[in-house]
Amino acid sequence: MSGWADFQQEAPDLAGMVRSRFTHHKHCLLATVRRDGSPRLSGIELWFWKGEAWLGLMPGSAKGSDLDRDPRFELHSAPTDLDLEEPDARIHGIAERVSDDATIAAFAADLPHPAPPPHEMDLFRIEPTQAVLVRVEGDELVMESWSPGVPPKRQTRR
């Protein structure tokens, strides 16, 4: 399974810009697939820890159940800038549940707020399968994207 570290190695500039959009403010949007196949959108925080990207969820949450059943997801940086002067970022990928209590406890201990006990957190490590950054430059819409093993590409539209 590849991870955030692979993205950083293959496309360091783009990975840095995407990461900055997800750390710009606390909340982002997570899309998962419900049991009936319809989409579910949920607010969430994305954490970068030990060179990887992680999702910490409350135990028994609907989005955690979605990811256990179908690990595909999309994260959106939820831009607050309506004029798109700041880039918009998306990460598509696979979420892998972490069941090791020691890893969960270490992750929780490094959070900037009081850590819940390991049994009070579901933890998922994400494997990006695509990352996209969209921004406006002058009168063009610029889209940069990356997928594992593929050089980053840049597209523009007027």
**Which residue type occupies 148?**
P
**Run of H or E including 52:** strand 52-57
Name the token pair of 58. Answer: 């409350």
Domain residues for 87?
Answer: 4-157
CATH assignment at residue 33 = 2.30.110.10
Quote the number of domains for the chain.
1
Q: What is the pTM of this model?
A: 0.91
What tokens appear for 49 in the block? Answer: 């820890």
Between the two ends of the chain, the Cα-to-Cα distance in Å is: 37
pLDDT truncated to tens, each residue of the chain (158 aa)?
578 999 999 999 999 999 999 998 888 999 999 999 999 999 999 999 999 999 999 999 999 999 999 999 999 997 777 777 789 999 999 999 999 989 998 998 888 877 677 678 899 999 999 999 998 888 899 999 999 999 999 999 98
Check if the beta carbon of residue 111 is closer than 8 Å to that of residue 76: no
**How far, in Å, CA of 16 to CA of 18, rounded?**
6
Determine contact, residues 88/77, Cβ cutoff 8 Å: yes
Compute the distance between CA of residue 7 and CA of residue 13 in angstroms, rounded to an integer: 10
CB 132 within 8 A of CB 77: no
